Amino acid sequence: MSPEKDAYLCEKYPKIFVNRNSDVKESCMSWGFEIDDGWFQLINHACSLIQSHIDWKNEQIEKSIKFNLAIEKAYAGDLSSLYEALYIKDPSIISAWQQEEVDKALAGELRKVSDKIPQLVADQIKEKFGTLRFYTSGGDEYTSGVVRMAESMSCVTCEVCGKPGMTNGKGWIKTTCEEHSK
Protein backbone atom coordinates (compact mmCIF):
# COMPACT_ATOMS: atom_id res chain seq x y z
CA MET A 1 0.00 0.00 0.00
CA SER A 2 1.22 3.49 -0.73
CA PRO A 3 2.83 5.36 2.18
CA GLU A 4 0.11 8.05 1.95
CA LYS A 5 -2.73 5.57 2.33
CA ASP A 6 -0.85 3.72 5.07
CA ALA A 7 -0.39 6.98 7.00
CA TYR A 8 -4.04 7.94 6.46
CA LEU A 9 -5.35 4.68 7.96
CA CYS A 10 -2.93 4.81 10.90
CA GLU A 11 -3.88 8.41 11.66
CA LYS A 12 -7.63 7.85 11.28
CA TYR A 13 -7.70 4.60 13.32
CA PRO A 14 -4.87 4.87 15.85
CA LYS A 15 -6.49 2.39 18.25
CA ILE A 16 -6.75 -0.31 15.56
CA PHE A 17 -3.27 0.29 14.15
CA VAL A 18 -1.53 0.91 17.45
CA ASN A 19 1.13 -1.65 16.51
CA ARG A 20 1.89 -0.19 13.08
CA ASN A 21 5.35 1.05 14.06
CA SER A 22 6.14 -1.51 16.73
CA ASP A 23 9.12 -3.82 16.66
CA VAL A 24 8.90 -6.73 14.20
CA LYS A 25 9.28 -9.11 17.14
CA GLU A 26 6.08 -7.71 18.68
CA SER A 27 3.70 -7.43 15.71
CA CYS A 28 3.55 -8.22 12.01
CA MET A 29 1.93 -4.78 11.53
CA SER A 30 5.43 -3.36 11.71
CA TRP A 31 5.80 -4.59 8.09
CA GLY A 32 2.90 -2.34 7.14
CA PHE A 33 -0.06 -3.13 4.95
CA GLU A 34 1.13 -5.96 2.71
CA ILE A 35 -1.42 -5.24 -0.02
CA ASP A 36 -1.92 -3.06 -3.07
CA ASP A 37 -3.96 0.17 -3.01
CA GLY A 38 -7.12 -1.41 -4.48
CA TRP A 39 -8.27 -2.75 -1.12
CA PHE A 40 -7.72 0.55 0.70
CA GLN A 41 -11.44 1.40 0.74
CA LEU A 42 -12.38 -2.07 2.02
CA ILE A 43 -10.04 -1.61 4.96
CA ASN A 44 -11.09 2.01 5.52
CA HIS A 45 -14.81 1.18 5.63
CA ALA A 46 -14.28 -1.92 7.75
CA CYS A 47 -12.22 0.04 10.28
CA SER A 48 -14.85 2.80 10.37
CA LEU A 49 -17.60 0.29 11.19
CA ILE A 50 -15.44 -1.52 13.72
CA GLN A 51 -14.20 1.54 15.63
CA SER A 52 -17.60 3.27 15.74
CA HIS A 53 -19.20 0.04 17.02
CA ILE A 54 -16.63 -0.46 19.78
CA ASP A 55 -16.73 3.19 20.85
CA TRP A 56 -20.55 3.33 20.87
CA LYS A 57 -21.04 0.04 22.73
CA ASN A 58 -18.44 0.92 25.36
CA GLU A 59 -19.99 4.38 25.78
CA GLN A 60 -23.41 2.77 26.37
CA ILE A 61 -21.88 0.47 28.98
CA GLU A 62 -20.39 3.50 30.79
CA LYS A 63 -23.77 5.25 30.70
CA SER A 64 -25.48 2.16 32.13
CA ILE A 65 -22.96 1.98 34.96
CA LYS A 66 -23.51 5.68 35.79
CA PHE A 67 -27.29 5.20 35.59
CA ASN A 68 -27.18 2.22 37.96
CA LEU A 69 -25.05 4.20 40.42
CA ALA A 70 -27.56 7.07 40.20
CA ILE A 71 -30.43 4.67 40.97
CA GLU A 72 -28.57 3.24 43.96
CA LYS A 73 -27.95 6.76 45.27
CA ALA A 74 -31.62 7.60 44.69
CA TYR A 75 -32.68 4.56 46.76
CA ALA A 76 -30.50 6.01 49.52
CA GLY A 77 -32.33 9.36 49.25
CA ASP A 78 -29.98 11.35 46.95
CA LEU A 79 -31.89 12.05 43.71
CA SER A 80 -29.36 14.52 42.27
CA SER A 81 -27.42 11.90 40.25
CA LEU A 82 -30.66 10.44 38.90
CA TYR A 83 -31.84 13.87 37.79
CA GLU A 84 -28.50 14.37 36.05
CA ALA A 85 -28.70 10.93 34.38
CA LEU A 86 -32.20 11.78 33.10
CA TYR A 87 -31.05 15.22 31.87
CA ILE A 88 -33.22 17.11 34.35
CA LYS A 89 -31.43 20.40 34.87
CA ASP A 90 -33.68 21.98 37.48
CA PRO A 91 -35.56 19.53 39.73
CA SER A 92 -37.65 22.39 41.15
CA ILE A 93 -39.40 22.74 37.77
CA ILE A 94 -39.89 19.12 36.82
CA SER A 95 -42.52 18.36 34.19
CA ALA A 96 -45.06 15.54 34.45
CA TRP A 97 -43.28 13.38 31.87
CA GLN A 98 -39.95 13.93 33.61
CA GLN A 99 -41.53 12.85 36.92
CA GLU A 100 -42.83 9.74 35.13
CA GLU A 101 -39.28 8.97 33.99
CA VAL A 102 -37.99 9.37 37.55
CA ASP A 103 -40.77 7.12 38.88
CA LYS A 104 -40.11 4.48 36.19
CA ALA A 105 -36.39 4.54 36.95
CA LEU A 106 -37.02 4.07 40.67
CA ALA A 107 -39.59 1.32 40.12
CA GLY A 108 -37.57 -0.56 37.48
CA GLU A 109 -34.60 -2.82 37.65
CA LEU A 110 -31.02 -1.79 37.29
CA ARG A 111 -29.72 -1.82 33.72
CA LYS A 112 -27.87 -4.93 32.65
CA VAL A 113 -24.20 -4.11 32.19
CA SER A 114 -22.17 -6.31 29.90
CA ASP A 115 -18.41 -6.45 29.68
CA LYS A 116 -16.68 -3.80 27.63
CA ILE A 117 -15.65 -4.81 24.14
CA PRO A 118 -11.87 -5.20 23.98
CA GLN A 119 -10.34 -2.81 21.47
CA LEU A 120 -9.76 -4.57 18.17
CA VAL A 121 -6.09 -4.33 17.20
CA ALA A 122 -4.77 -5.25 13.76
CA ASP A 123 -1.96 -7.77 14.04
CA GLN A 124 -1.40 -8.17 10.29
CA ILE A 125 -3.06 -7.13 7.03
CA LYS A 126 -1.93 -8.88 3.89
CA GLU A 127 -2.92 -10.61 0.67
CA LYS A 128 -3.03 -14.41 0.61
CA PHE A 129 -4.34 -16.58 -2.24
CA GLY A 130 -5.74 -13.50 -3.96
CA THR A 131 -7.82 -12.29 -1.04
CA LEU A 132 -7.42 -9.93 1.88
CA ARG A 133 -6.37 -11.35 5.24
CA PHE A 134 -7.06 -9.23 8.29
CA TYR A 135 -5.54 -10.82 11.44
CA THR A 136 -6.71 -9.17 14.65
CA SER A 137 -7.01 -9.48 18.39
CA GLY A 138 -9.85 -8.11 20.51
CA GLY A 139 -13.28 -7.11 19.28
CA ASP A 140 -16.50 -9.10 19.43
CA GLU A 141 -18.83 -11.06 17.12
CA TYR A 142 -19.86 -7.92 15.24
CA THR A 143 -16.27 -6.87 14.53
CA SER A 144 -15.41 -10.42 13.43
CA GLY A 145 -18.33 -10.24 11.01
CA VAL A 146 -17.11 -6.94 9.57
CA VAL A 147 -13.63 -8.41 9.06
CA ARG A 148 -15.06 -11.51 7.36
CA MET A 149 -17.22 -9.29 5.11
CA ALA A 150 -14.22 -7.18 4.03
CA GLU A 151 -12.21 -10.33 3.36
CA SER A 152 -15.02 -11.83 1.27
CA MET A 153 -15.48 -8.60 -0.70
CA SER A 154 -11.78 -8.66 -1.58
CA CYS A 155 -12.28 -11.69 -3.85
CA VAL A 156 -14.43 -9.56 -6.17
CA THR A 157 -12.44 -6.31 -5.82
CA CYS A 158 -9.34 -5.59 -7.89
CA GLU A 159 -6.42 -5.42 -5.49
CA VAL A 160 -4.67 -2.90 -7.76
CA CYS A 161 -7.39 -0.30 -8.42
CA GLY A 162 -10.48 -1.25 -6.39
CA LYS A 163 -12.79 -1.83 -9.38
CA PRO A 164 -14.86 -5.03 -9.64
CA GLY A 165 -12.54 -7.96 -10.25
CA MET A 166 -12.14 -11.71 -10.27
CA THR A 167 -9.76 -14.06 -8.54
CA ASN A 168 -7.54 -15.66 -11.16
CA GLY A 169 -4.22 -17.36 -11.68
CA LYS A 170 -2.90 -20.85 -11.35
CA GLY A 171 0.40 -20.23 -9.57
CA TRP A 172 0.32 -16.82 -7.96
CA ILE A 173 -3.39 -16.10 -7.35
CA LYS A 174 -4.49 -12.47 -7.69
CA THR A 175 -7.81 -10.66 -7.72
CA THR A 176 -7.83 -8.15 -10.55
CA CYS A 177 -10.13 -6.32 -12.91
CA GLU A 178 -9.99 -6.95 -16.63
CA GLU A 179 -7.49 -4.11 -17.13
CA HIS A 180 -5.02 -5.36 -14.49
CA SER A 181 -5.31 -9.07 -15.30
CA LYS A 182 -2.98 -8.65 -18.29
Contact 55, 48 (CB under 8 A): no
Name the strand (E) or helix (H) holding 105: helix 96-107
Q: Quickly count: other Cβ atoms within 10 Å of residue 178's Cβ.
A: 11
Q: Model-level pTM?
A: 0.85
> From CA 145, how far away is CA 131, in angstroms rounded?
16
The confidence score (pLDDT) of residue 19 equals 95
List the one residue out of 117, 116, 73, 76 whose CA is nearest residue 86.
Answer: 73
Q: Give residue 145's domain range.
A: 1-182
Asked whether the predicted pLDDT for residue 109 surpasses 90, the reply is no
Task: Mark residue 139 as left, alpha or beta (left: phi above 0; alpha: psi -120 to 50; beta: remaining).
Answer: left
Question: How many domains are contained in the chain?
Answer: 1
Inter-axis angle of helices 40-75 and 3-12, nearest 10: 10
Name the strand (E) or helix (H) holding 34: none
Name the strand (E) or helix (H) holding 7: helix 3-12
Q: How many helices (H) and strands (E) does the chain have?
A: 5, 4
For residue 158, give the 3-state DSSP assignment.
Answer: coil
The confidence score (pLDDT) of residue 108 equals 84
The confidence score (pLDDT) of residue 166 equals 93
The confidence score (pLDDT) of residue 98 equals 85
